[in-house]
Structure 1
Amino acid sequence: MASILDSVNQRTQMVGQNRLELLLFRLSGQQRFGINVFKVREVLQCPRLTSIPRRNRLVRGVAHIRGQAISIIDLSLATGGPAITDIENRFIIIAEYNRTVQGFLVGGVDRIININWENIMPPPKGAGRDAYLTAVTEIDNKLVEIIDVERILADISPVSTELSDDVKNQPITVAKENLTILITDDSAVARGQIKRALESLEIPLEVKKNGKEALDWLKEKAKEVDGNVQPHVPVLVSDVEMPVMDGYTLTAEIKADPNLADVRVILHTSLSGVFNQAMVKKVGADDFIAKFHPDELATAVKKWLNAENIVAETE
């Protein structure tokens, strides 16, 4: 138990400091890519793969690991590159995204680095693989690209954004006039999923691509209303992993600002693991939801909209 707590304490020291750990890897060439260590369960030399009928072309087969059948996705193919060859001498990264476990076939694994989110930028427009990237950074004077895994998973197995009738019929008990729900996520696919899931609430949605954009918008809103933002922006739905400023740091900044502190923050993330609840508690988020289940997201938003301390101002 002590070792688990020590591990939690060590990891949560980065929370609110806008830092993360990246596992660096290569695909079919020398270009390096990165994945958040929090999403990685383990890295293995690629085992024997079992072919499955009518599989998606991006899935090279299934690996049987510790009693679990795991689909192995060729990340090079998934990002528009050539298929990875000589796979028996390659590696798989076992990771957990959006409540499921996947294996990502990669050409080679480099090392783990600790980096500040401020040094991670949105991908440049016009980059060859920009449609599959959420961010880029520079390590040892070389570009490192961070792949939009949510887009790849959506290409392979699209998720429904439709709400059930039960959730659609859950009432909103506050006046909707002058309200805005703020959304921030660096993945274009995730932003679209969230917007479609919340459109039925019939409340305007303001969408930002990272925590810095969201925080700047909230501060401008506070100037506009000359004080407490919460009667106008009662709920923020935020991703955790974002360039420039992550969701944990965004939450901590919001809760430290008297004009923003009453905004309810729902962290909505593909991250899952034993450390998340400790992190959420540390930064003061109001809710934590693993991606992507539209009913759970809409239910959480309605819950905080209907909370007793939310008083919507009307004209």
Structure 2
Amino acid sequence: MSNKAKQSQKLLLFRLFGSRLFGLGTLKIREILPFQRLTKLPHSHHAVIGTATFRGSAVPVIDMSAAVGYPALSKEEQAKASIIVTDIQRQEIGFLVRSVQQIIETDWKSVMPPPKALGTNAFITGLLDVEGDIIQLLDVELLLAKVYPESLDAGEVVLSDVQSETLRSLNILLVDDSQVARKQLSDVLDSKDITYHVTTNGDDALQVLLSQHERGTPIDILVSDIEMPGLDGYELTFNVRDNNALKQPYIILHTSLNSEMSLSYANQVGANEALTKFDAEELMEAMLRGAEQAS
């Protein structure tokens, strides 16, 4: 495969409880702060321990240990902890972690999907073996959905009868390794009685694209996450664009990163559009633009 589709991924490694290491993509991270005095938030989720001041703004801080089911950090432990300020899903969120370790460089091809035995409530999107240590990549979208259940509400999208029928006539494929993101995508289409295929990773998505093409019902619109174990969204897009035998779908790459770099790279590998999660109206407008091209 051409190097054009490959983009290295830097991960920040940290600890929450015991010796286990967790990882978070650095593109999500704005800054790492030492623990500071927090302002309490009344009537908030038990894992939300207050707000920190970051560049003049109040940022909610979540005790990540408590949020994923480990014991909450004690006052003494908090004093030695760090706050990772992230930019995810169009909002700044701080995560309190026991200790920050190091930054490593890898690529999504090296990330293994989590075992299915972990179930649907595991906050893990992938596993990475680094010199014998198994790094667990956290599903921050699921974490935020547990802390802020209202974030799952995709909101009402108004479509005309013609627009709805147009999308119903298309073959649509959704790809995302996050169960929360898949639910958000599915809920939007289900609310309009629009049928679709859905997969959890790029490898399976490529097989669906190939099999649908062979059946004479090619995929018209592909909506894919960018950061996924195995074949990530960039490589999936490049593979599709590099296959001249496939009828080319309209490709919308979808990411929780508010990163111009990620969105720019999506266009470079052949995506028609790149969106930041999650705005249902923006997504439907992009799909309608894809429908115009498919017609």
TM-score (norm 2): 0.91
The one-letter amino acid of 2:205's match is A
Match of 1:292 in 2: 278
Q: What is the match of residue 106 of structure 1?
A: 97
Cα offset, 1:176, TM superposition: 4.1
The aligned residue for residue 185 of structure 1 is 176
Amino acid in the other structure paired with 2:20: Q
Shift of 1:91: 0.5
2:31 is matched with 42
Query: Offset of 1:133 from its aligned partner?
Result: 1.0
| Residue number in structure 2 paired with 1:26 | 15
Asked if 1:194 corresponds to 2:180, the answer is: no
Q: Which residue pairs with 1:281 in the alignment?
A: 267
Give the aligned partner of residue 304 of structure 1: 290
Shift of 1:139: 1.1
Which residue does the alignment assign to 2:199? 208
| SS of equivalent to 2:260 | coil
Deviations 1:10-36 (A, max 9, x none): xxx986115411111111221000011
What amino acid is the match of 1:161? A
Tell me the SS of whatever aligns to 1:215.
Answer: helix
Q: Which amino acid aligns with 2:177?
A: D
Say yes or no: does 1:125 pair with 2:111.
Answer: no
Q: Is the counterpart of residue 76 in structure 1 residue 65 in structure 2?
A: yes
Deviation at 1:261, TM superposition (A): 5.8
How far is the alpha carbon of 1:131 from its aligned partner?
Answer: 1.8
Cα distance, 1:263–1:52 mapped onto 2, change above 3 Å: same
Give the aligned partner of residue 64 of structure 1: 53
> Does residue 1:54 correspond to 2:43, yes or no?
yes
1:171 to 163, 166, 169: 163
**RMSD of aligned residue pairs (Cα, Å):** 2.2
Counterpart AA for 1:52? L
Look up the match of 1:238. Answer: 224
Q: 1:202-246 deviations in whole A, cap 9, x for unaligned?
A: 332111111111112112222232xxx6xx311011011111111
Report the count of equivalent residues: 290
Instruction: Tell which deviates more after alignment, 117-126 or 139-148.
Output: 117-126
For structure 2, the residue ranges without an aligned partner over 5 or more in a row are: none
Distance 1:214 1:129 in 2: 20
Alignment-derived partner of residue 4 in structure 1: none
> CA–CA distance in 2 between the matches of 1:15 and 1:304?
24
Distance 1:203 1:129 in 2: 25
2:4 and 2:99 map into 1 onto residues whose CA distance is 29
Match for residue 255 of structure 2 among 269, 272, 291:
269
Moved more, 248-257 or 96-105: 248-257
Tell me, in whole angstroms, the C-alpha distance in 1 between the residues paired with 2:265 and 2:4: 6
Structure 2 vs 1, CA of residues 259 and 129 (structure 1 numbering), >3 Å: closer, same or farther? closer
User: Which residue of structure 2 aligns with residue 8 of structure 1?
Assistant: none
TM-superposition CA deviations, 1:48-86 (whole Å, max 9, x none) = 111111121111111012101001111111111110232
State percent identity of aligned pairs: 34
Give 1:80-91 correspondences, 5 Å limit: 80-85=69-74, 86-91=77-82
The 3 A distance-change label for structure 1 pair 254 and 278 is same
- Structure 1, unmatched stretches of 5+, are 1-12
The 2-side partners of 1:102 and 1:295 are apart by 23
- 1:9 corresponds in structure 2 to none
- Answer whether contact 1:15 1:248 (CA < 8 A) is retained: no
| Deviation at residue 103 of structure 1 after TM alignment | 0.5
Q: Contact 1:238 / 1:268 at 8 angstroms: preserved in 2?
A: yes
Structure 2 letter corresponding to 1:257: N
Whole-Å separation in 2 of the counterparts to 1:45 and 1:170: 54
Task: State the AA in 2 paired with 1:171.
Answer: Q
Cα 1:67–1:176 change in 2 (3 A) is: closer
Aligned to 1:3: none
Question: The residue matched to 1:72 in structure 2 has which SS?
Answer: strand
Change (3 A) 1:255 1:201: farther
Name the TM-score, length of structure 1 as normaliser: 0.86
